[in-house]
A and B are shown apart, each in its own frame.
Chain A
Amino acid sequence: MSRLPTLFFGILAVFATSWLGLVVYPYVQLGHLQPERSATTGALTPAPLTSSAVAGERVFAANGCVYCHSQQVRAAWLSTDIEKGWGPRQTVARDYLNERPSFLGTMRTGPDLSNIAVRQPNVRWHFEHLYEPGVVSPGSIMPSFRFLFVERPVGATPSPDAVAVRGPHKPRAGYEIVPTQDARDLVAYLLSLDRTQPLPEADGTNGTKRTDGPNAAKEAKP
């Protein structure tokens, strides 16, 4: 193997197989998916995000939440994710249409967040948890994100969003802790994370029963 052309083309051609197989072809198969529209209510799955939630995605990305929190529910044949309660069904490709890029994650140092909006819909809980996770969730090693909050003087009445602080970082007398827009956006994003609505390709029959829709079965499986 001494000639540059042989090596050159061999090196590139062999690599091209994976580039075509794991990049190009999946983009063809999965790059243009559309949300599912309910026949009865017309609602979309996944539901589109509010603009605050879209901004919240950037806060999620900027602060590296994905390095501790996954967003995938694995199927029952492979794992106990569903039994454990991360979600009622596995997550599939269309569940991530709201995110660029999708935050699939590879670590569960912290809980999976695929359906956190269903498990914890309380906005105030989320603000309190971001401010002092170790106090709100005893045993947690999540760091405090109090830099997403500001301390400001209390007005005539306390803000409805003021965070009730139990731990060591209490506001000074006459001051209150209020979330910044970043914190609000982040919580808006977290409260959009709901993959409990059914999708046909996630029904466990491997798509053999569908006859319509963007991922319709092309031929019946025996």
Chain B
Amino acid sequence: MSEGEPEPSEGEFRDLASPAEIDLPQVHGSILREHREPAEGVGRVPLWFALLMLGLTLWGALYLANRSGGFRADVFNPVAAPVAVAEDPATLGQRVFMRNCMLCHQFDGRGVPGQYPPLAGSEWVLGEDGHNAQQIVAIVLHGGEGPFTVKGDVFSGAMAPWKALRDDEIAAVLTYVRSSWGNAAPPITAEFVARVREATKDRAEPWSEGELGDLAAPAAGGGQ
């Protein structure tokens, strides 16, 4: 702030002392203490930066040339790679389970009380207490409409039909279910699934518990 100025009165701006002008704008102290408006210096562009620019431009040009699919509208991948994943048959069952079954039966097969039956320790899965493998293949193919009694509890949900899955997928997922979370029951084969599919091909409705109970144990081969 300049010396020799009159003290500012309460609530007023500081006047700029210049006797030649009468209608001076009031200039606040904050403007008085400012530096000039900014300007640019003439520093040189560093060499390393110039080289970096050049290097990045070269990289960019190469990347664009190689990974643009000819700039065509129907080329969605920069590299031609087969979209079919080489699926490991050993994990097919787990993958089908995680894609389709897990939403209701949960990741560890414990189900949701009152709603979706557990698969872990389930007599239906294990083929115990009068249940057999044909029933679980049938329910996967055509769905089910509750109530169902599993492990002493009643479940009134509905299960969607999964007949769109392949025979080997259904066989794999049931085998997975039968051998996970403490379950130990024999595997199911794709041929068995095919036979059950053929035997029930006219089925249009989901099964009820009673109808499934009528399905007899299979005569020979492929799972029990």
* A interface list, Cβ under 8 A from B: 29-30, 75-78, 82-83, 85, 89-90, 92-93, 118-122, 124-125, 128, 135-138, 164, 166, 200-208, 210, 215, 217-218, 221
Q: Which residues of A contact B27 (CB under 8 A)?
A: none
* CB closest residue in chain A, given B164: A118
**Chain B: interface size category:** 20 to 34
A75-B76, A215-B74, A221-B70 as given contacts; A203 in contact with B160, CB under 8 Å = no
A122-B158, A215-B73 as given contacts; A204 in contact with B82, CB under 8 Å = yes
User: 1/0 per position for B65-83, CB-CB distance to A under 8 A?
Assistant: 0000110111111011111
Asked if A119 and B99 make an inter-chain contact with CB atoms under 8 angstroms apart, the answer reads: yes
Q: Which residues of A contact B1 (CB under 8 A)?
A: none
CB distance from B138 to the nearest CB of A (A): 17
B98: interface (CB < 8 Å): yes
User: 1/0 per position for B7-50, CB-CB distance to A under 8 A?
Assistant: 00000000000000000000000000000000000000000000
CB distance from B181 to the nearest CB of A (A): 16
CB distance from B65 to the nearest CB of A (A): 15
The listed residue (A92, A121, A135) touching B112 by CB distance below 8 A is A135
Asked if A125 and B103 make an inter-chain contact with CB atoms under 8 angstroms apart, the answer reads: yes
Asked if B81 and A164 make an inter-chain contact with CB atoms under 8 angstroms apart, the answer reads: no
Asked if B81 and A77 make an inter-chain contact with CB atoms under 8 angstroms apart, the answer reads: yes
CB distance from A98 to the nearest CB of B (A): 19
The 5 closest A-B pairs by CB, nearest first: A204-B83, A215-B74, A85-B99, A29-B73, A207-B74
Interface centre among B81, B83, B99, B104 (most CB of A within 10 A): B83
Apart from A205-B82, A217-B74, 12 more pairs, CB < 8 Å? A75-B83, A76-B83, A77-B81, A78-B77, A92-B76, A118-B164, A204-B77, A204-B82, A204-B84, A206-B74, A207-B72, A217-B72
User: 1/0 per position for B137-179, CB-CB distance to A under 8 A?
Assistant: 0000000000000000000111111001000000000000000
B57: interface (CB < 8 Å): no
B85: interface (CB < 8 Å): yes
Asked if A206 and B112 make an inter-chain contact with CB atoms under 8 angstroms apart, the answer reads: no
Q: How far is the CA of A149 from the CA of B81 in the complex (A)?
A: 46
Q: How far is the CA of A186 from the CA of B103 in the complex (A)?
A: 19
Q: Which residues of A contact B89 (CB under 8 A)?
A: none
Q: Which residues of B contact A75 (CB under 8 A)?
A: 76-77, 81, 83
* B interface list, Cβ under 8 A from A: 69-70, 72-77, 79-85, 95, 98-100, 103-104, 106, 112-115, 156-161, 164
* CB closest residue in chain A, given B95: A85
Asked if B98 and A204 make an inter-chain contact with CB atoms under 8 angstroms apart, the answer reads: no
CB distance from B66 to the nearest CB of A (A): 13
Asked if B103 and A120 make an inter-chain contact with CB atoms under 8 angstroms apart, the answer reads: yes
Q: Which residues of B contact A218 (CB under 8 A)?
A: 72
The listed residue (A83, A164, A201) touching B95 by CB distance below 8 A is A83
CB distance from A52 to the nearest CB of B (A): 19
CB distance from A122 to the nearest CB of B (A): 4
Q: Which residues of A contact B69 (CB under 8 A)?
A: 206
Q: How far is the CA of A184 from the CA of B35 in the complex (A)?
A: 67
Sampled A-B contacts (17; CB under 8 Å): A75-B77, A77-B77, A90-B76, A90-B77, A92-B76, A93-B73, A124-B158, A125-B158, A136-B112, A138-B106, A138-B112, A204-B77, A204-B81, A206-B74, A215-B74, A217-B72, A221-B70
Asked if A136 and B115 make an inter-chain contact with CB atoms under 8 angstroms apart, the answer reads: yes
Q: Which residues of B contact A215 (CB under 8 A)?
A: 73-74
The listed residue (A83, A85, A93, A166) touching B115 by CB distance below 8 A is A166
CB distance from B49 to the nearest CB of A (A): 20
Asked if A202 and B83 make an inter-chain contact with CB atoms under 8 angstroms apart, the answer reads: yes
Q: Which residues of B contact A138 (CB under 8 A)?
A: 106, 112
Q: Which residues of A contact B158 (CB under 8 A)?
A: 122, 124-125
Q: Which residues of A contact B159 (CB under 8 A)?
A: 122
Q: Which residues of A contact B98 (CB under 8 A)?
A: 85
